[in-house]
């Protein structure tokens, strides 16, 4: 009886410790995950337009590296945006901003580099380690540089194989599902036809339908992560998958765009007829934050798991000792 009481006491104590640890760890994990998500969405907005995100005046003149190319004649503050060189599809010269697009610069994309480098290495590149003229440390503090690197490392999606580079239409999507998501989350602000909020886009008056038809990658980036200076609901925070975003895009491409039929699909620029296949699909670590969440959980639970295994081991030893002493008695 004494031995049985000791075993029960040991098991109860171990369970109590685990319950207490769980109570402490759960809010820590939730806070860490929220912080990671906040870094990603903020990093995405910095990639879009870092000076608008920070609410600061952009540097004067052109970004130093911009002078290395002559095909894109844009100038001034726009040359300081990451997206102006690397594209909304993150593929740079090998994607939508390829030669003949009207946006071509010859600069590489960031998708491949982000897959092969750590967040720390990406921060170093943003500080000019690979090219002194690519140094943003004078304009973005360490927290902002880290957020941008976290976005690049954790949240980029390769939508290339899902969008036809000639027609700019989504391939293999579900417009019905996209309609449901749009009406649940987007229509309240943009209206059922996507025209409630008008904005200027590439020198023209535009609606959501215009953006979806003319620049699907920009549409995806902004619906997933938001637009600097706005409080719009974004797919990332809603837990949308990459395919959810593409389904919303497919539905939005059916909304009134203000473009004549023959212009739709080719209005982004003079994209060449040939397409270029690239391996790989969406970075599935993205919208639901699956890999980020798993990483946070693994990190946060590491101590608890080790402690739990230790406690179980201790309990097994206690049981073994008690049973051994019982047999001797």
Residue with tokens 């031995």: 3
Residue 82 to residue 49: CA distance in whole angstroms: 7
Helix (H, G, I), strand (E, B) or coil at 270: coil
What's the confidence (pLDDT) of residue 67? 96
Q: What is the pLDDT of residues 172-200, one digit of tens each?
A: 999 999 999 999 999 999 999 999 998 88
Cα–Cα distance for residue pair 44/181, rounded to 1 Å: 22
Give the domain ranges of the chain: 8-31+302-328, 166-285
Tell which residue, 107, 117, 119, 111, has the closest CA to residue 149. 119
pLDDT of residue 199: 84
What's the pTM value of the predicted model, to 2 decimals? 0.72
The pLDDT assigned to 269 comes to 36
3-state secondary structure of 170: strand
b/e code 108-126 from CB counts within 10 Å (16+ = b): ebbbbbbeebebebbbebb
- Closest listed residue to residue 102, CA positions, set 72, 122, 130: 72
Residue 36's alpha-carbon distances to 56, 140, 146, 185, 242, in angstroms, are 24, 19, 11, 23, 18
For residue 21, what pLDDT is reported? 45
Q: Assign a CATH topology to domain 166-285.
A: Cytochrome Bc1 Complex; Chain D, domain 2 (1.10.760)
Q: Which residues of the chain have pLDDT under 70?
A: 1-36, 260-329
Q: Are 64 and 133 in contact (CB under 8 A)?
A: yes
State the SS3 of 49-72: HHHHHHCCCCCCCCCHHHHHCCCC
Q: Indicate the length of the chain as a whole number.
A: 329
The SS3 of residue 155 is coil
Tokens 């109570």 belong to: 23
Tokens of 110: 């960031």
pLDDT of residue 318: 56
What letters, b where the CB count within 10 A reaches 16 and e where it falls short, cover 290-302? eebbebbeeebbe
Reduce the DSSP state of residue 92 to 3 states and report it.
strand
pLDDT at 321: 53
| 3-state DSSP assignment of residue 158 | coil
How far apart are the C-alpha atoms of 225 and 235, rounded to whole Å? Answer: 7
DSSP H stretches of helix in 127-186: 142-154, 175-185
């Amino acid at each position: 009886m004494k031995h049985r009481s000791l075993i029960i006491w040991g098991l109860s104590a171990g369970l109590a410790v685990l319950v207490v640890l769980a109570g402490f760890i759960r809010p820590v994990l939730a806070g860490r995950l929220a912080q990671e998500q906040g870094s990603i969405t903020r990093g995405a907005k910095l990639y879009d337009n870092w000076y608008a995100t920070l609410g600061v005046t952009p540097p004067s003149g052109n970004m130093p590296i911009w002078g290395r190319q002559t095909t894109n004649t844009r100038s001034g503050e726009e040359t300081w945006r990451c997206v102006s060189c690397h594209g909304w599809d993150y593929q740079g010269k090998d994607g939508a901003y390829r030669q003949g697009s009207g946006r071509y610069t010859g600069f590489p994309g960031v998708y491949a580099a982000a897959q092969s480098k750590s967040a720390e290495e990406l921060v170093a590149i943003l500080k000019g380690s690979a090219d002194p003229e690519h140094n943003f440390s004078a304009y973005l503090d360490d927290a902002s540089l880290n957020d941008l690197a976290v976005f690049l490392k954790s949240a980029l999606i390769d939508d290339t194989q899902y969008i036809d580079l000639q027609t700019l239409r989504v391939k293999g999507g579900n417009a019905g599902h996209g309609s449901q998501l749009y009406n649940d989350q987007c229509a309240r602000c943009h209206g059922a036809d996507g025209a409630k909020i008008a904005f200027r886009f590439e020198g023209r008056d535009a609606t959501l339908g215009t953006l979806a038809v003319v620049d699907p990658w920009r549409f995806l980036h902004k619906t997933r992560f938001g637009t600097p200076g706005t409080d719009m609901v974004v797919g990332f925070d809603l837990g949308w998958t990459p395919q959810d975003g593409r389904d919303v895009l497919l539905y939005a491409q059916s909304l009134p765009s203000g473009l004549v039929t023959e212009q739709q699909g080719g209005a982004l620029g003079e994209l060449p007829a040939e397409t270029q296949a690239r391996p790989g699909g969406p970075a599935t670590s993205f919208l639901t934050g699956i890999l980020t969440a798993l990483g946070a959980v693994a990190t946060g639970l590491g101590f608890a798991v080790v402690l739990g295994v230790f406690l179980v081991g201790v309990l097994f030893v206690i049981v073994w000792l008690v049973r051994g002493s019982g047999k001797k008695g």
